[in-house]
Amino acid sequence: MESPPSFTWPSARRPIVALAPMAGVTDASYRQLLKEIAPEIIVYTELLSSDALHHGAKKTKEMLAFDPQRERPFIVQIFGKDPDHFLTAAKVVEQAGADGIDINMGCPAARVVSSCHGSALMKDPDLAASIVATAKKAVSIPVSVKTRLGWNNADALIPFCRRLVEAGADALAIHARTYTQKFSGAADWEPLYALKQALPAVTIIGNGDITSGQDAVKKIGNLDGVMVGRATVGNPWIMQEICGALRGAERMENGTWKMGNAARSSHPLSFEEKIPFILRHCELAVALKGERKGMLEMRRHLAGYVKGMDGAKDLRAQLVRVEHIWEVEKILSK
């Protein structure tokens, strides 16, 4: 594997715009599509199991595959609870050529939390710090953590994150909701700004409720960047809009961002203009996974692409049955 460039979080272009890791979504085809639309973004993999990587699971190791020419900076997110397994997994990720490792301490899915993974690690700061320290000692590439405000409030956010940084975390991405909120209610970014004030030297990225470039400008505050996940599904062009809105921003003395003259709003694409990108996504998926599996996994994306359109229900009913790219082209051309 080609040696990665010396990526570091402090040297990453500010403001950072990152694609959030999403299970079943951010595979190589989606990452490559997003990088074609917005080349400056940082992409993350789907959530990969540290246990599976430790035991050499073939399917999980295959999910480490990426295109070094089109996906850098390339961050691999891993989850688990066994520090020894993180030791092995971190080394496997580095050997695969990744630019960084991200540790999931924020996933609220019941099956993840019930295994003491993801958000459950917020309730065990000692174990969380041990995992970070183990991964950091195992590799030379940056180690970051994605977490949440806390379990049911943000009271422990600063001390918890301070422990992670002391253990070696190079960057933190914070979803601005608690575990108990899951994805409901409004995201609260105020604790993130307080966290950045408490840890000014640490790269801190905010995540939650960014659905437009205007949202990104409004929410970034004193943070180093923003991360967007669910809002990109069916609308990957939002990343171009966000990058345009934040372009030319300058940091003021108090750490907050001032939007410069280079900031621009993007022209919304018509559905006709989106079709070549949708077909391109299909091509990338088929190239990565073969036509049968690639088109099967594209069905959820295709349903997202037509959401909100006139006749979306009928289109969706057709698109969730496609097996070939030419079928997609035929349906959308109508």
Looking at the annotation, which residues are catalytic?
107
Cβ(254)–Cβ(268) below 8 Å? no
CA 122 to chain CA centroid, Å, is 19
Alpha helices in 48-117 (DSSP H): 50-54, 58-62, 83-95, 110-113
Query: Distance between CA atoms of 302 and 95, rounded to whole angstroms?
Result: 34
Cβ(209)–Cβ(140) below 8 Å? no
Backbone φ, ψ for residue 173 (5° rounding): -115, 125
Enumerate residues 6+ apart whose C-beta is below 8 A from 250: 257, 258, 260
Backbone φ, ψ for residue 172 (5° rounding): -135, 130
